[in-house]
Amino acid sequence: MARRGLFSKILIANRGEIACRVMRTAKRLGIRTVAVYSEADADARHVREADEAVRIGPARSAESYLSIERILAAVKQTGAEAVHPGYGFLSENPRFAEALEGEGVAFIGPTASAIAAMGDKIESKRLAAKAGVRTVPGFVGEIKDERHAASIAGEIGFPVMVKASAGGGGKGMRIAWNEAELKDALRSAASEARSSFGDDRLLIEKFIEEPRHIEIQVLADAHGTVLHLGERECSIQRRHQKVIEEAPSPFIDAKTRAAMGAEAVALARAVQYRSAGTVEFIVDAKRNYYFLEMNTRLQVEHPVTELATGLDLVELMIRIAAGEKLKLKQEQIQLTGSAIEARVYAEDPARGFLPSTGRLVRYREPSGGNGSGIRIDSGVLEGGEISIHYDPMIAKLIAFGPDRGSAIQRLAHAIDGYAIRGLTTNLPFLAAVARHPRFAEGRLSTGFIAEEFGTAFKSPPPTGPALRNLLALAAVARCRTAEQEAGISGQLPGHRARVPQDWVVALGAERHALRVEAHGASYRVRGEDWELEAVSGWRPGDPVMEAQLSGHAVAAQIERDGALLRLAQGGCSIEALVVPGHLASALRHMPMKEPPDLSRFLLSPMPGLLVSLAVAEGEEVKAGQELAIVEAMKMENVLRAERDGRIARLHASAGASLAVDQAILEFE
C-alpha cells in the first residue's frame, strides 16, 4: 500500500499490556489511537489511555475481541486508517487481514497469504522444507485416526509430540512417551484445539529430548528487504508456554546465529513476508536446530530484542505497513548487552501454576525505570480485575544490563520489589528461578522447570544468609512499628512507650534471639553468631521493604496478618512472630490452630467452568481415574482420583461456575 507519511489514526484490536504497548509508540509518533473493549474491560487501562474507545461486545472473546464484524464496525465508526492486532485474538487470522484489505484499511502485519501459509503447521513445514530449512522428523500431514497416529509414532520412535495444526501458545500440545499415552494425548489435544481454535486437526513429530527453544526475529518490508534481528532464548517454559525469555541466548555462538538467521530469512522470502515475524527453532545439545513454526505477529517477548538491538519493533511494523522501506542493513544490526524478560502471571505456583483470578487490591511496580535497567510492560492498574475470560498475564518485567550476570541481578532485585496483592501470582517462583544456579550458568532446556521444581512450587524455608536477611528485616520492621506506636500523641507524661532492643523472632517452633540497636534509619542487628547493618526508610503499611544490608541492596515483600509478619525475598518466605525478649516465654502458651480436614473432598483448584463430571454417586473409582474437567483461561484441566475410593456425594454439576477450593464431590 503506497502512502505518504504515517497513519493519522490506528485502532488496536487487542487489550491489556500489548494494547498499551502499541499505544505508547503510536503516541510518540503523533498517531491517534483507538481502543476496543468488551464489557469486562470497560474500566481497563488500555481504554483509559486511548484517544478514543469503542465497546464491541460481551466479555466472551468470541463475541468481542474475536469478532471480525465488530472490529470492522469500530474501524468504520472511528475512521481508523490502520489496525494493529497485537498478539493472540485475531493477530494470525488471515480472514481478518483480508477483511481489512477489502475495506481499504491497512493491516499492521503480514499479508493474509503469509499468515495462512505459516498458520497451518502442516503447510508451514512443507514450505520450510522447500525453502531449505531443517525440520523436525515427523509426519507432514493430517493425522487420520488413532491407528494412523500409532503407525507414525512407531516409525519415528517415541517420545512424540502431538500438536494442533492450528495451535499456538502451548494449547493443543501433548507429549506421549508410549502407545498408551498416545491415545490420551490425541483425545485431549484435539479437544483443547477444538475449544481454542475451532480446528481439531493434529500432527505428530519427534520429541527432541533436552531441547532448547530458540527463535529468530525477522523483519521484512514490501520492497524486498528481509532482515533478522538475532535470536531469543525461550527455553524456560511451563506446559509449553514461555515464562522467561532472553536475548541473546547464552548458548548460541556467532556461527550458529548466522546460520539460523539465514534460514529464517530464506523462509520469510519464500512466503513473501512483510512486517515483523518470528521463526521458532528447537535446538539440541550439539546446536543442531530444527524448524518448529513461524509466528506471523509481534511476539510477547519482543521487548528483549528491542533492548538488545535498540530498535522499536512496533514503530518498524507501523512504518512497513505505511509502505516505507527499511533503512537498516543486516550488518548494522548488533546484539549489545543482555535483556531478560519474566512474565508475571496471576497463577498459583503451589497449585501446579493454575490460574488465579481476583482484584488487584494493591499494585505497585518496582522502583526505577529504564535508567536502572528495568522496563515494565503492563496493562493493569491498582483496583483492576484479572478475570476468567482472558489470559492471566499481569505484566512483563524486563531487565537489561551490559552482560547477562548484571541483567539477572537486576531482574532478581526487581522481582523482589514488585508488590501485587489481592490474588496469587508467580512472583515467588520467578524469584527462585532468577536465583537458581543452573539458570545463572545458562544450562537451560524446555524441561528446566519440571526438572528443577516439579509440577508445583512452594517457597522453600530460607537457610544461611537468606535466613539472616529475612530475620534482620523482620526485626527492623517490628522496631519501626514499635517506634511509630511510641510516637502516638496523647500519651500520659512520663509513660511514653519505649522501644526494646531485645527481640525474639519465632518461626513456628523455631526461636531466634536478636538484639537491635537503632540509630535513626540505621539499625545494627545481632544474632547468635552474626551481625548486620541495616538501613531502611520502610514505613509500616508499605508492601515492599527496601534496605541496605551491610552495603547490599535488598527488597522483600512484607505483609502483616494480625500479630504475624510475612516476608518473602529471593523465592524464600517466612511467617514470623516478633515479640520483645521479655515476652518470649509466653510464646509456648500460644494456641496452634489446626487446619480443617478436607481430604475427603475433591476441590476445584482454580476458578473456572466445570466442563464435565465423569463419575456418579456411589461409584467405585481407582487411583488415577478421571473425575472431572475444569476449564479456565481456555485451558482444560483434568482432575483425577489420588486414591481408590467410592463417591459419596456430588456437590456440583456440569456447567457450574466454580470458585477456587469449591467442593466438586465428596468421597466416603
Three-state DSSP class for residue 188: helix
For residue 592, pLDDT over 80 is answered with: no
Angle between helices 302-309 and 313-321 (to 10 degrees): 100
Res 352: pLDDT:
85
Q: Which of 182-196, 415-429, 443-457 has the lowest mean pLDDT?
A: 182-196
Residues 6+ apart with CB under 8 A from 137: 156, 205, 206
3-state SS, one letter per residue, for 403-472: CHHHHHHHHHHHHHCCEEECCCCCHHHHHHHHCCHHHHHCCCCCCHHHHHHCCCCCCCCCCHHHHHHHHH
Give residue-wise pLDDT tens across range 133-176. 998 888 867 888 899 999 999 888 898 999 888 776 677 889 99
Give residue-wise pLDDT tens across range 253-288. 999 999 999 999 999 999 999 999 999 999 998 899
Give residue-wise pLDDT tens across range 28-80. 999 999 999 999 999 999 999 999 999 999 999 999 999 999 999 999 999 99
CATH number of 125-136+211-333: 3.30.470.20
By the 10 Å C-beta count (0-12 exposed, 13-18 middle, 19+ buried), 550 is classed as: middle
What are phi and psi for residue 173, nearest 5 degrees? -125, 135
In this structure, CATH architecture of domain 464-486+500-586: 2-Layer Sandwich (3.30)
Domains 125-136+211-333 and 337-458 share a fold: yes
Q: Which of 322-336, 533-547, 581-595 has the lowest mean pLDDT?
A: 581-595
Give residue-wise pLDDT tens across range 117-133. 998 878 898 999 999 99
For residue 653, pLDDT over 50 is answered with: yes
Q: Are 304 and 280 in contact (CB under 8 A)?
A: no
CATH superfamily, domain 337-458, is: ATP-grasp fold, B domain (3.30.470.20)
Q: What pTM value is reported for the model? A: 0.86
Signed CA dihedral, 607, 609, 615, 618: sign only: positive
Closest by alpha carbon to 459, among 427, 488, 485? 427
For 30-130, where are the alpha helices, taking DSSP H only? Answer: 45-49, 68-78, 94-102, 112-119, 121-130
Report the percentage of the chain scoring pLDDT > 90: 75
Q: Are 412 and 437 in contact (CB under 8 A)?
A: no
Under the banding of pLDDT at 50, 70 and 90, the label for residue 627 is very high
Is 601-667 assigned to CATH 2.40.50.100?
A: yes
Q: Tell me, which fold does domain 9-108 have in CATH? A: Rossmann fold (3.40.50)
- Cα 313 to Cα 5, 222, 229, 276, 318, distances in angstroms: 18, 16, 10, 7, 9
* Residue-averaged pLDDT of the chain: 92
Q: Which of 48-52, 152-156, 350-354, 493-497 has the lowest mean pLDDT?
A: 493-497
For residue 2, pLDDT over 50 is answered with: no
**Residue with the larger pLDDT of the pair 372 and 619:** 619
Res 168: pLDDT:
67
| Cis, bond preceding 248 (omega within 30 deg of 0) | yes
Which are the catalytic amino acids?
293
Distance of CA 54 to the CA centre of its chain: 28
**Other CB atoms within 10 Å distance of the CB of residue 24:** 14
Query: What percent of the residues of the chain are helix, what percent strand, and what percent coil, each to the nearest 5?
Result: 30, 35, 35
Three-state DSSP class for residue 338: strand
Class of domain 138-206: alpha beta
**Residue with the larger pLDDT of the pair 203 and 374:** 374
Give residue-wise pLDDT tens across range 533-556. 999 999 999 999 999 999 999 999
Domain ranges for the chain = 9-108, 125-136+211-333, 138-206, 337-458, 464-486+500-586, 601-667
**Other CB atoms within 10 Å distance of the CB of residue 440:** 15
Mean pLDDT of 454-465: 91
